[in-house]
A and B are shown apart, each in its own frame.
Chain A
Amino acid sequence: MESKPRIGVYICHCGVNISATVDVEQVAEFAATLPNVVVSRDYLYMCSDPGQGLIQEDIETYDLNRVVVASCSPRMHEPTFQGAAQQAGMNPYLVEMANIREQCSWVHSDRERATEKAKWLVASVVAKAAELSPLEEREVDVTPGSVVVGGGVAGMAAALDVADAGFPVYLVEKSERLGGRLAELNRTFPTLEPVADLIGPLIERVQTHPAITLFLNAQVTNVEGYVGNFKVKVTGQEGERQVEVGSIIIATGYDLFDPQRKPELGYEYPNVITSLEMEQRLFDGDLAVNGREPQRVTFIQCVGSRDVQVGNPYCSRVCCMYTAKQASLVKDILPNADVTVLYMDVRTFGKGAEEFYDEARAKGVRYRKGNVSEIYRRGERVVLSGEDTLLGQPFDWETDLVVLAVGMESRADISELSTMLKLPRSADGFFLELHPKLRPVDTAVNGVFLAGCCQGPKDIPDTVAQAKAAASSALIPLLKGTVPVESATAVVDADLCAGCGMCVDVCPYGAPALDLLWGVSKINAVLCKGCGACATACPSKAINLQHFTPEQILAQVDALVG
């Protein structure tokens, strides 16, 4: 054991986030009285540069060998403070955090009691800090290259960026062609550019790029390994192949909502079609219904979106604009036809979108507020029953052709990949990003990134932006050549281990394995995430989770109840 602990304690105001509810000065004064505490301060923003500087100066001045920061959740800023301590020459695993924001100031209103609780939390963490040991930071080499799953616009854009950076890319596409859903569209909003002009050159580049290996009619069927060193099994018509890469980009896209799930909307009638079917009709320039030009064409928004009944509470983000585009194109082809859009809200974010909506109305596309409740047949026409909510009048609108603006859903087969890679999904069914704002393309699995609509509905610019973001994130380990691995891992005391294999069963990451020769468990430190499941399960108490040792945890508990 090294020299006596010398602890510095730092209480953050977090602006007023903490200080409005917790008397931070009082907590700092209290902390100064705790055993082993050499210096205790409070500061407006500990995470700011001056805040971090304060810690670094104190490490120097007071010869600190432990740092405790009482502020937000460690999920937010632990790496910040670990980094600051490391720069000042301290092992980052000698930094501990007390969460007095999410677990105290934000959830309490009584200032006195919240202050008391903050003191307890700080005392507990100070007690643990005294028991901390430095841990070695380790790195492993990275296998250069990425696997991209999905050959739509997201997958292609991501693959090209990684390949252009000089790394091999294995692009795996389930169908027999590249282009994904985009290839089924006619023109794009708001520029009305033909999709063929957009996607043709992209496909051409992917097919001819020397760094891209293309697998069509193929699927990823198994993934092993970890960030920097994944082994991906690709199964296709030519059999199985295993590729080794450092990172993976998921770009598997979406499914269209099936309007048969809203039977009241009469999708069984030949003159009720989906927006995707309308794309084909616009491509063919054929809008005829029963061989005649329609006099009325009506668009219905939000079919299968913003609808909790079908389990899709979210907005699909693209339907308002593609409907404006289609309605506008229909008006071009049939200037004398009545073209009506029935909507509940029009959402036109994005560059040039509101302007396009303005143009569509100026062109004569009629927007009537009120979503359709029911569609039934009258002769060759159909009747749309709804209410004009601005007039407060129900309507029964006869029309020749109805276009259902169907929304996006997570793919029906998304669970296969989700299970294989242990990728979490959000409540809407799509893949879950690690942080909605700050880590939008990262996943809970290091080295696996998301691009495009597999993460949630998106238009083409957002999809490509995310694909390029995923590519640059996927390039980080490839460019660095090494990846750091978690140091707070579990270790087995071979003398105590009975080789029962319970740890192997409980580990979600496949880190422990029984050594056949010695009959004891060994934990692969690169795979271990430090979750502690094995340490808890081990009946012989042979597994110790570093940084969360029984001594450390009991010291924390003692400070609270002792």
Chain B
Amino acid sequence: MKTQAMTEQLELYGCIQCGKCTGGCPVARKTTLNIRSLIYYMLVEPELKVDAHEELWDCTSCFTCVERCPKDVRPAELIIALRGQLVEGGRIPETIGAALMGTFRQGNPAGMAREDRSAWTDSREVKAAQDGCDLLYYIGCTPSYDIRAQPITRALARAFTVAGLDFGTLGIEESCCGNEIRRMGEEGLFEMLVEENGEMIRAVGASRMVTVSPHCFNTFKNEYGLDGIDVLHYTQLVAALIEQGKLELANEVNKRVTYHDPCFLGKQNRVYDEPRAILQAIPGVELIEMDRNRERSLCCEGGGGRMWAEGTNLEERLAFQRVQEAADTGAEILAVACPFCLLTLEDAVKVRGLEEQLRVMDIMELVNLSLGEE
């Protein structure tokens, strides 16, 4: 691959090789991925053999490199662009291929049947957004299909009902947001999703939309160009509902809780305070911070397509490190606000044998407990 065009397009010339990108990269420590060195290569060499860089699939798109760059270069975008070259050439891990195909065929990377997308409702009545509503509740793939994530989806629907919001969902017409698709390098499929989803979302006419996952939130907010629609992550909306007195958290949840900032919510969109405000509003919750919080939160390794690709070093998972950090605080609950974080960290708790000590829960599950029996 010739380097010049991509170097210009991504404005890599700003790079001064300070090393803050790789220096902050959580996976650079365990694999051969070195984004600083890749940028240098792009700057000084006319050609790059992109096939030789299997480690490109190790990147989690946490965007710490982007966050840290003092020159506003966006190193992670180079990885996405290089993955795009691999996708175009068809040289991609089998599991990535399956995720892309599943999205193309069934509208979700797991390749589950489109007809089952509303299974999370457990036969509860949910209004169709297509009939018009104030708030579009966009569910997302993992919160729709994954049994572990579905309780969050239901808890949110319940909270919106309790707060008296006029909300609706797109039902089985809803498709993958494409956030992970773009980061896996499949720009074409992503653009198709943006067009189809964008059209459907605008047609609803809602003034606000809310997502379960920070990943969906990120792409709708920053990449869809949904002008006039206020895109919210659920933590922002729920924090506001509590603040306005529309959600009464009556029941005590007497737990020591620590909170893990998801990369797509924290680092990439600077939503740090609202999740903490919710936790602190739950009676009985004692919030303890891990040392690496907010801007320094450690990635769980679930982003950037990594839910569908293992990467090159399975042994040293960042999630193992993270759950140990959480356990070391003495917390009983590791709270998250992202379905990917929930799955990766819960897995790590099991592998690390910390189940007796630490439970991973989504913030909405704690809110649901505090709301009491349905």
By a beta-carbon cutoff of 8 Å, the part of chain A in contact with chain B is: 263-264, 266, 302, 306-309, 344-345, 369-374, 376-377, 385-389, 392, 394-396
Contacts and interface: CB of A to CB of B under 8 A. Distances in A.
Contacts of A389: 17-19, 22, 36
B71 A385 contact: no
A369 B18 CA distance: 8
Given A344-B18, A369-B19, A370-B18, A387 B36 contact: yes
A309 B72 contact: yes
Interface in B21-47: 21-25, 28-29, 34, 36-37
16 contacts: A302-B18, A306-B71, A344-B19, A371-B18, A371-B19, A372-B23, A373-B21, A373-B24, A374-B24, A376-B296, A386-B23, A386-B24, A387-B23, A388-B19, A389-B18, A389-B19
A126 to B, nearest CB: 46
B291 interface: yes
Contacts of A387: 19-23, 28, 34, 36
B240 to A, nearest CB: 24
A394 B21 CA distance: 10
A392 B16 CA distance: 15
Contact of A394 (B28, B70, B72): B28
Contacts of A376: 291-292, 296
Interface in B51-107: 64, 67-72
A307 B36 contact: no
Contacts of B69: 309
Interface of B: 16-25, 28-29, 34, 36-37, 64, 67-72, 291-292, 294-296
Given A387-B34, A395-B23, 7 more contacts: A302-B18, A308-B70, A372-B23, A373-B21, A386-B23, A392-B34, A394-B22
A259 to B, nearest CB: 13
B28 A264 contact: no
A306 B18 CA distance: 10
Question: Lowest 10 CB-CB distances: which A-B pairs, in order?
Answer: A373-B24, A386-B23, A373-B23, A370-B19, A387-B19, A307-B70, A387-B23, A344-B18, A387-B22, A389-B19
A369 B21 CA distance: 14
Contacts of A308: 70-72
B63 to A, nearest CB: 13
Contacts of A374: 23-24, 68, 296
A258 to B, nearest CB: 15
A269 to B, nearest CB: 9
Contacts of A395: 23
Contacts of B21: 373, 387
A344 B16 CA distance: 8
A173 B339 CA distance: 58
A392 B29 CA distance: 11
Nearest to B65: A373
A260 to B, nearest CB: 12
A34 B36 CA distance: 63
Contacts of B294: 263
Contacts of A302: 18, 70
A309 B291 CA distance: 24
B79 to A, nearest CB: 16
B17 A344 contact: yes
Contacts of B20: 371-373, 386-387
B296 A394 contact: no
Contacts of B23: 370-374, 385-387, 394-395
A263 B17 contact: no
A307 B71 CA distance: 6
A373 B28 CA distance: 13
Nearest to A370: B19
Contacts of B36: 387, 389
A373 B17 contact: no
A264 B71 contact: no
Contacts of B19: 344, 369-371, 373, 386-389
A500 B295 CA distance: 58
Most buried by B among A263, A302, A345, A374: A374
A285 to B, nearest CB: 31
Contacts of A394: 22-23, 25, 28-29
Contacts of A345: 16
Given A386-B19, A387-B36, A264 B70 contact: no
Contacts of A344: 16-19
A309 B70 contact: yes
Nearest to A369: B19
Most buried by A among B19, B68, B296: B19
Contacts of A266: 296
A263 B67 CA distance: 12
Contacts of B292: 376
A394 B25 CA distance: 9
B77 to A, nearest CB: 16
Contact of B68 (A369, A373, A392): A373
Contacts of A392: 34, 37
Contacts of B72: 308-309
Given A376-B292, A389-B36, A392-B34, A264 B68 contact: yes
Contacts of A370: 18-19, 23
A396 B68 contact: no
Most buried by B among A302, A371, A396: A371
Given A387-B28, A392-B34, A377 B18 contact: no
A249 B346 CA distance: 65
Nearest to B67: A264
A240 to B, nearest CB: 45
Contacts of A371: 18-20, 23, 70
Contacts of A264: 24, 67-68, 295-296
Contacts of A386: 19-20, 23-24
Most buried by B among A306, A307, A394: A394
A392 B37 CA distance: 7
Contacts of B295: 263-264
Contact of B24 (A306, A307, A309, A385): A385
Contacts of B67: 264
Nearest to A371: B18
A376 B292 CA distance: 7
A442 B294 CA distance: 46
A323 to B, nearest CB: 16
B70 to A, nearest CB: 4
B291 A377 contact: yes
Nearest to B290: A376
A375 B67 CA distance: 15
Nearest to B16: A344
Nearest to B267: A264
B81 to A, nearest CB: 21
Contacts of A377: 291
A501 to B, nearest CB: 44
A306 B16 CA distance: 10
Nearest to A266: B296
Contacts of B29: 394, 396
A373 B68 CA distance: 7
A271 B28 CA distance: 27
A263 B296 CA distance: 8
A87 to B, nearest CB: 50
Nearest to B24: A373
Most buried by A among B20, B25, B291: B20
Nearest to B272: A263
Nearest to A389: B19
Nearest to A395: B23
A373 B66 CA distance: 11
Most buried by B among A266, A309, A385: A385
A373 B71 CA distance: 13
Nearest to B73: A308
B291 A373 contact: no
A104 to B, nearest CB: 30
A345 B15 CA distance: 13
A527 B17 CA distance: 51
Most buried by B among A264, A306, A308, A370: A264
